[in-house]
Amino acid sequence: MSDDGTRNGLRYYIDRNVFEAGLDRMRFIFDEFDDVIVHTSGGKDSTVCIQLALIVARERNRLPLKLMFVDQEVEHSQTIDQMMHDMESPEIEPLWIQVPYEFENGTSTECPMFTPWDEEVRDVWMRPKREGNPYTENVYKTRNFYKMFDAFCQYHFGDRRVARIGGVRCEESPNRRLALTVDATYKWATWGKVPTRKTKEQHILFYPIYDWSYQDVWKAIHDNGWQYNELYDLQYQHGVPVQIMRVSSIIHETAIHGLMYLQEVDTEFWPKLCKRVPGVASAGILKEGAFRFANGLPYMFATWREYADYLLEHLVIDPEQKERFRVSWGRFESGAKVAGWVADVDWDSVICAAEARTVLVGDCHGNKLNAVSATKQWNKLEAEATA
């Protein structure tokens, strides 16, 4: 059965499986928009979205399918292998973006931002740029990784009606379930979002597999014999839990746990990465200890607020980076107050403790700073207090 959203605050189901529902949503997208672009990270969810889109593109005579990949340079070898397989298909129009921009380096407080494809360090690039690639110059008026997707589409597609497809699934986050099942984004569809106010309904993000489970994803891949990223097999063999398997950039604050086993699963990639990115070698030596959060408030601090402020002042060197942390903290605190979800708990032990953790993992934009992570911290502290 497929979860197809909510009605009057209640979940409801329709009499079809998620594969059929995903295809029908994809057909709706192709019928409504001039251009369809599938975003890919080289992961399993991207693989499913690509293959569903290809099925419909063949039906609608809309080949080749546009496939967009924002290359972070420090991508796993297996991820690039998968991208080469996907992009070289005659049914694909490759939008492989290899331009300089910035994103977080979660392994170093001295070099907190990483610039892929920086011409000044071309001699230590992880690999050469794709031969003949037309998307290698940053003409998009942004150096921000998160804004690059919108900027690229705005630059190349302007006022054309564009549907952008991503592999976001509700199973991965309660916040995502709320966002993708309540309010309609386009016509009747809740499973999407408008990227920017500027584009309004011209460029819209859709998530047609939003109600799939990870079992649904793997069943579709294996039943159809679709090629997928080999890194998943290597992670499985190494004992990595399914919930934290990632195949994208290895130095992002949400993915640095991969450094703990990278030396064992990709021996050729590791030395190149150590040479390319400051902090990676140290993280590989220190392992979990490099990012371990205090089990309780250190005795020399009176409050978590004091501890968080101390970490920000002494671990974060760059003034601009400090300001990014302050902005993300302020946004988090404002959201928590508006939502009222912390009304019955200790603000300092939940909110400030969660903020302290962002400094230790280099999460200046607050990507891991949300109600879920803070509540987990509160539950942990409460359990320790009553043990």
pLDDT tens string 202-224: 789 999 999 999 999 999 999 99
Q: How many residues does the chain have?
A: 387
User: What secondary structure letter does DSSP report for 169?
Assistant: -
pLDDT at position 162 is 94
Written as six digits, the tokens of 239 are 């004992």
Crossing angle for the helix pair 353-361 and 304-315, to the nearest 10 degrees:
20
**Residue 197: count of CB within 10 angstroms of its CB:** 6
End-to-end CA distance of the chain: 42
* Per-residue tokens: 278: 């400051």
DSSP per-residue letters across 112-133: -EE-TT-GGGGGG-SSPPPTT-
Give residue 279's pLDDT band: very low, low, confident or very high (50, 70, 90).
Answer: confident
Predicted confidence at residue 380, as pLDDT, reads 54
At residue 178, the pLDDT reads 63
Q: Pick the residue with more confidence: 119 or 249?
A: 119
Q: Of 268-277, 290-299, 311-320, 326-335, where does mean pLDDT reach its minimum? A: 290-299
Written as six digits, the tokens of 236 are 């499985």
Q: Helices 231-238 and 77-87: crossing angle, nearest 10°?
A: 150
Q: Where residue 340 falls among pLDDT bands split at 50, 70, 90?
A: low
Architecture of domain 2-215: 3-Layer(aba) Sandwich (3.40)
Tell me the percentage of the chain whose pLDDT exceeds 70.
81
Nearest to 329, CA basis, from 302, 293, 349, 359: 359
pLDDT exceeds cutoff 80 at 384: no
Q: Are 22 and 212 in contact (CB under 8 A)?
A: yes
Burial of 294 (0-12, 13-18, 19+ CB in 10 A): middle
Tens-place pLDDT, residues 134-187: 999 999 999 988 899 999 999 999 888 999 999 988 876 666 666 666 677 888
Domain map (residue ranges) of the chain? 2-215, 304-386
Q: Look up the pTM and report it.
A: 0.78
